[in-house]
Chains A and B, each alone.
Chain A
């Protein structure tokens, strides 16, 4: 029987969203291919997570061992290799995440299984395993095919598939961990939580986010002025933090915060995936960018193609006018 195997991703006692997103796609692919869907859950003291996952697949493979308590690519690789060699799943999904990328390419080399990464879709076509992925920061996409094999690995981009409420009841199969070789050359030391912050952008109703298009730190006042009249908070994309113009707590994106405000204004942000991931579920997304091909326009509800230095002052002024008109009419 063909099998699709998904590696569950969890941290700090909770399953991460990517796990459920992969399962949505896994279920769809399993249906199309007439395959079963299994989940591999590695960890220590994660039995409750296994129960939660049983709603989403035909089988949950639970492997618990003290050395699996914290993610370590080497131990995970040992366990997964063992499972893959035994069960020979045709397709293996991992998240295109910090954990997934640390593990998947090594697994591919070790087991000699073709791998494609950061996919936004996968499917079988005429017996070939195909994927769709972004190129050039999302400005273009490509249909790619994998070399013919009996097995394939794909890392799935977070935020593309929607996590769906599980319907099926599968069984939890507690497997005894294979004999693990002790690893001394790679040690997990500790998890570092971000420092306490002055402003939590993830709770704001209105977020005005700035990207590289602002050009210089001295121009940030345009963003602040707009944010002030809207009563929102200022956020930014990664390059702004890399340059040291705003603190990390203001960063929206995969390695920063995920926000779902009522209004998200993306100013001078190109909209590359790792940023979009952090804001795409905002209720109203308005983007300002002078490049009509900027990927941000793929997620925006409204887009203004133009020079932000011309638009921001006008926008700030108009909003002020509207607000004072509203106030005076009361």
Chain B
């Protein structure tokens, strides 16, 4: 099976303090740690598992600056065979639509049975790239995949719905599937294996190489433009307690008592 995985190199923000830069459209990233987008990690693991089962090869593609190669090397260490990075100054400010256009231009001339993407990215959460890519390619797709079985020219997938429900859908290959977390247990990529992956080549392409004009990407090529990032105003007038733990705990227990939940 020839599988393509689209991966994104994103900042880890859960434990970090985020600072909006002067442009107000981006955050300052110098002090942030970057890693592969969590959903994409599951997508890559699924691709490598399929390769181990059916043979074939896995190609990973990312769009980003040079340090995005850390994510590509991690993928190569885990079992991807080829890596492609698309980079160009004009790409800055691209939304999901612009990204999908770039990926389309890279992928349309490649041979593939399956394209896997994470269901969404942890930084912007647009959750559109996979479906848009499939639409541009004119191939079937399914999103939020929690389980997949490859049959004869088809993929039978279990899609996650709400309220604990799931639905089973069958798509003909080649197809795009967007992957939900929890579908598998991603393996570890040791530092030595990542080092060894340096021997594998990463093709670097710019806009010219993928036949796109500057106004087809970046803000000019996007449908959604970020005007201004801001710290959310706390909607709820909740009370935040900190300080001496025993006092805080007593206060909370008082509140619980008042609300009648301590029976």
Contact = CB atoms under 8 A, between A and B. Distances in A.
Does A pair with B? yes
Interface of A: 11, 16, 71, 73, 96-99, 101-102, 104-106, 108-110, 114-118, 130-131, 133-147, 158, 184-194, 205-206, 212, 230-231, 238-239, 241-242, 248-249, 251, 254-258, 262-263, 270, 283-286, 291-293, 295, 297-306, 310-311, 314-315, 318-319, 322-323, 326
A64 to B, nearest CB: 21
A297 B15 CA distance: 15
A140 B162 contact: no
B205 interface: no
Nearest to B156: A189
Contact of B161 (A98, A230, A302, A314): A98
B13 A139 contact: yes
B97 A115 contact: yes
Contacts of B105: none
A118 B238 contact: no
Per CB-CB distance, the 10 closest pairs between chain A and chain B, nearest first, are A114-B223, A242-B182, A109-B135, A194-B164, A105-B131, A105-B128, A189-B168, A185-B172, A305-B242, A192-B166
B14 interface: yes
A136 B168 contact: no
Given A110-B135, A147-B222, A242-B182, A186 B170 contact: yes
Interface of B: 11, 13-15, 17-18, 20, 27, 96-97, 100, 122-128, 131-132, 134-136, 140-144, 156, 158-172, 180-182, 222-232, 234-236, 238-242, 245-246, 248-250, 252-253, 255-257, 259-263
Contacts of A189: 156, 167-170
Contacts of B123: 135-136
Nearest to B237: A301
Nearest to B260: A262
B249 A314 contact: yes
- Most B CB contacts (10 A, CB to CB) among A231, A270, A299, A304 go to A304
Nearest to A253: B162
A254 B120 CA distance: 15
B245 A192 contact: no
Given A105-B128, A315-B253, A137 B14 contact: yes
Given A118-B125, A255-B162, A142 B228 contact: yes
Contacts of A256: 163-164
B224 A144 contact: yes
Contacts of B222: 147
Contact of A147 (B168, B171, B225, B239): B225
B227 A192 contact: no
22 contacts: A101-B143, A109-B135, A115-B223, A117-B127, A135-B229, A139-B13, A143-B230, A147-B225, A186-B171, A188-B167, A189-B167, A193-B165, A255-B161, A284-B256, A284-B259, A285-B238, A292-B240, A293-B18, A306-B242, A306-B248, A318-B253, A319-B262
B126 A118 contact: yes
Contact of B255 (A131, A283, A302): A302
A138 B232 contact: yes
Contacts of B127: 96, 101, 117-118
Nearest to A295: B232
Contact of A311 (B136, B167, B245, B259): B245
A114 B132 contact: no
A142 B235 CA distance: 16
Nearest to B225: A145
Contact of B167 (A190, A241, A258): A190
At the interface, is chain B mostly helix, strand, loop or mixed?
A: mixed
Given A147-B223, A231-B263, 15 more contacts: A101-B143, A102-B143, A106-B132, A109-B132, A116-B223, A117-B96, A117-B128, A135-B124, A135-B229, A136-B123, A139-B13, A144-B227, A189-B167, A191-B161, A301-B238
Nearest to B125: A118
Contacts of A192: 158, 165-168
A142 B229 contact: yes
B215 to A, nearest CB: 12
A194 B125 contact: no
Contact of A206 (B136, B165, B231, B261): B261
B164 A185 contact: no
A136 B27 contact: yes
A158 to B, nearest CB: 8
Contacts of A311: 245, 248-249
A135 B122 CA distance: 8
Contact of B126 (A117, A184, A248): A117
Contact of B164 (A114, A231, A248, A263): A248
B55 to A, nearest CB: 24
A33 B127 CA distance: 28
Contacts of A11: 161, 165
Nearest to A72: B169
